[in-house]
Amino acid sequence: MAHGSVTDRAVEALTRLVRDVPDFPEPGVLFKDITPLLADAAGFSAVVEGLAAAGRDASGATRVDKVLGMEARGFILAAPVALSLGVGFVPVRKAGKLPHDTHSVAYALEYGEAVLELHQDAVAPGERVLVVDDVLATGGTARATHDLVTACGATTASFAFLMELGFLDGRAALGDVPSTALLTV
């Protein structure tokens, strides 16, 4: 079975490059550490191209206006995805980091609570964006990002994740927005 543009063989190889760290950052959380995968040139490249496929139509044409990534791990993946698609990259940052006027949303994630912000003029009304992140866990981060996009008058065309933690049912938080994950655990 293929997962988006990633074959079964690639899924096995990528899964081996993600390290499980028990009880980080707090007891009871099994942390999925993607740093070994990022350090592997072939793995990193396969992930970027697999995620970028969510921003293309069947003919291979880019069908989004911007790629958004969430601080911090989302930046690492979303920026090269934007370059691959030939569109701009927009950072969604934790509170207090963006210098100009922002929209702001408080949210909860698997191990805490935080606030995410987006520059009000970072995406234009009517634009379609691809939201890229490394992990979909509870969906709190992704949902907050979608709400920020909506506050700008733009549309989340799709979410693309490297890894989905299926047992946390994060997809339930994403409503009707299409979502793909290269790996599911």
Ligand X SMILES: Nc1ncnc2[nH]cnc12
Q: Which stretch binds ligand PRP (CB under 6 A): 7-15, 132-140, 148-156, 176-184?
A: 132-140
Told to check if 170 binds ligand PRP by CB under 6 A, we report yes
Q: Tokens for 4, please give them.
A: 């988006």
> Using CB under 6 A as the criterion, what x/- string covers residues 33-72 for binding ligand PRP?
-------------------------------------xxx
Told to check if 109 binds ligand PRP by CB under 6 A, we report yes
Which of ligand PRP, ligand X, none does residue 140 bind to, with CB < 5 to 8 Å depending on kind? ligand PRP
Residues lying near ligand X in the complex (CB under 6 A): 29-32, 109-110, 135, 137, 165
Q: Could you list the residues that contact ligand PRP (CB under 6 A)? A: 70-74, 109-110, 133-142, 170
